[in-house]
Amino acid sequence: MSTPQERIVPTNLRNEMSRSYLEYAMSVIVGRALPDARDGLKPVHRRILFAMHELGLTPDRPFRKCARVVGEVLGKYHPHGDTAVYDALVRMAQDFSMRLPLINGHGNFGSVDNDPPAAMRYTECRLQAIATDALLRDIESETVDFIDNFDGSQQEPTVLPARIPQLLLNGSSGIAVGMATNIPPHNLGELIDG
């Protein structure tokens, strides 16, 4: 059996801080702050859309309470806090925030004058046709890889099988550790026609 002194590994402080900071920075970049170029979504947005797809909230189905969607995302895919998830959901429903909203919101989703949205227990949502047709259509066709969620109880897609360049269509902004992005939205017709 070793003593506590024998288990201490001497290391250079500068090297350890550099390595630890880089690992933290990459975790933030990949895990939260910047969108993936393949589907144009940050993890929280991807998880919301996938959860809504799993709940069957397609454009031809009735609206469901946003609180139900937020609970599904928190419980299965994104254990970070309801405010972050609801804010991301609201943004995807605002036609003044996205060129083509991915979520069809019913109720008060805020205003261009920076008025806040109503609480999630009052608002309702379902997917827009663009989200089901362009981002989620082939999700069951083994077109993308799936990984375990945070506790290994569910599977979630690494990216959505985007049929359009969603990153350019709706743009994105994000601030990470040591880097940032601010991509403006573009016209759908110009993107598709080339």
pLDDT over 80 at 178, yes or no = no
24, 177 Cβ separation under 8 angstroms? yes
pLDDT over 80 at 2, yes or no = no
Residue 193: predicted pLDDT:
85
pLDDT over 90 at 73, yes or no = yes
More confident residue, 16 or 178: 16
Residue 14: predicted pLDDT:
93
Please give the domain boundaries of the chain with CATH numbers for all domains.
44-168 (3.90.199.10)
% residues pLDDT > 70 (the chain)? 99
pLDDT over 70 at 114, yes or no = yes
pTM summary value: 0.88
Phi, psi of 92 (to 5 degrees): -70, -10
State the Cα torsion 104-138-162-157 to the nearest 10°.
90
pLDDT over 70 at 87, yes or no = yes
Compute how many other C-beta atoms are within 10 angstroms of the C-beta atom of residue 112.
Answer: 9
Q: Which of 21, 24, 77, 122 is catalytic?
A: 122
pLDDT in tens, 142-174: 999 999 999 999 999 999 999 999 999 999 998
Pull the structure tokens for residue 61.
């189905």
Distance, in Å, from the CA atom of 25 to the CA atom of 30, rounded to the nearest integer, reads 9
% residues pLDDT > 90 (the chain)? 76
Pull the structure tokens for residue 124.
């309702």
Report the mean per-residue pLDDT for the chain. Answer: 93
* pLDDT bucket at 101, cuts 50 / 70 / 90: very high
* pLDDT bucket at 69, cuts 50 / 70 / 90: very high
Nearest to 127 by CA among 58, 179, 173, 26: 58
Annotated catalytic residue 122: yes
What mean pLDDT is predicted for residues 66-94? 96
Distance, in Å, from the CA atom of 39 to the CA atom of 47, rounded to the nearest integer, reads 12
Give DSSP secondary structure letters for 20-84: HHHHHHHHHIIIIIS-BTTTTB-HHHHHHHHHHHHTT--TTSPPEEHHHHHHHHHHHT-TT-HHH
pLDDT over 90 at 24, yes or no = no
Residue 194: predicted pLDDT:
66
What mean pLDDT is predicted for residues 107-130? 98
What type of residue sits at position 181?
A: T
49, 134 Cβ separation under 8 angstroms? no
> Percent helix, strand, coil in the chain (nearest 5)?
40, 15, 45
